[in-house]
Structure 1
Amino acid sequence: MSNAYAQRGVVVLTGAGISAESGLGTFRDVDGIWTKYPLEDLATPEGFARNPEFVQGFYNARRAQLKTSRPNAAHLALSELEAALQAAGRRFTLITQNVDHLHEQAGSQNVLHMHGELLKVRCEACRGVVRWPDDIGVRTPCPTCEAVGLMRPHVVWFGEMPLYMDEIETELARADLFVSIGTSGNVYPAAGFVQLARRAGARTLELNLEPSDGASFFDEARYGKASELVPDWASEIMRRL
């Protein structure tokens, strides 16, 4: 991939595939935790309204799992690439569909969590968002407004609008390289980012374990483990800076 495609900026989109090697399950795992319960019970406002105690308990367990998870080589490579591009005066934006904090733990700075963050909670009363690494219960008071029983995970559920969409569209419009890592390519609006980037003139690359549903929209694709593909690709870019 020519160095010309990294002159202005790089936008990277990551999905569950990049965190799978860190031990975090994905929606597509046949026997994973996400397949044991109907998603409408776990990841919708309606499911939360029906059984908030069950939903809070599920996300408490996912939050506890993060305490033993560590970034893998792919996360670390993206952090190194961000630092190198910024040092060269070029833009780098990392958009993630993941709610884990492994990118930040690896050292990434400019991260847009379009589906929210598991280590944060928000209040349905005052809309305040706070960092929350521990359990949350159905009677947990909001630390900002003190409302009781209105705290929920700061994650985007089905039927809700993803976060940072204006910022994401701005970055896609001015990038000359868009890279999708470990995504299924079948969840919108993220699945449409490659087409937005192409219309803006960006070169596009898919790094994935296998072809995504949107593989045909990419100019180039490499398939294999993220922990191997991403460091190799990042090294290529950094050598050309």
Structure 2
Amino acid sequence: MGKLKFSMESVSKIYFLDNPYPNGHKIEVFSWSGRIDEYGFIWFDFHLKTENYYANDDENSEEEEENETLSNWDSKIVWGNYHACTLSSNYWNEQRGIRINKPGEKLDFDTVVKNDLFSNDLPSEEHFDDDDLAFSIYLLGHDSCADHQIRFSKTDSNLYDITWTGKIALTYSGDDEFSHDFKAQIFNTAFEGFHYPKTWTIEKAIEMFKAQLANFEEYEFVDLNPKSNKREYKLDKLKH
């Protein structure tokens, strides 16, 4: 996962609405990839990590120390204790993410990214199982997030701008209500290709991808470790 390259005009940031940092937090690492699982289901994975919450904060928190009524969400001191955010479907070696193909239909990548993605995983009052959530988040401890909406906008350089919103529950501190919101804006990022199970041969991968992907001829297998004797590939879109 490479570090993002920022321009002065478009810094990728995530905003946690009504937290003590209204200017948001710069995203230092962002990754957008896909994978096909052993059943032929295809998923998008996203991973981001911010800089330290307090990286650009020149204000001290002396006044806050005297205000004991602040909630965890409102307290810079609490945010500072947890340093930075990781929001991801695959960082903790979990198989989460958002499924993007439908049974009986071949997946058209270009059609998928023309529409918003929804995780549809906001728990009901009767049922909350963290394993059902599409993403994991480390925010003020290992908290929970759900109800994601992800929008793609293709740029002139065949990269993508992404707007990603969702809801957060501070479950680490015992609050299971998804009462907080975030919005991430990512600029000029590339899709990194589709991974497949390491147990598959390249022939099995070709067979499965051909069966599930529209316009398979527009893809190529790319060696993940060209300098290694170990052959491991992902399927990526051909660069035009």
The answer to whether TM tops 0.5 is no
Q: What's the TM-score once normalised by structure 1's chain length?
A: 0.24
The structure with the greater share of residues assigned to strand is 2
The structure with the greater share of residues assigned to helix is 1
Q: What's the TM-score once normalised by structure 2's chain length?
A: 0.24
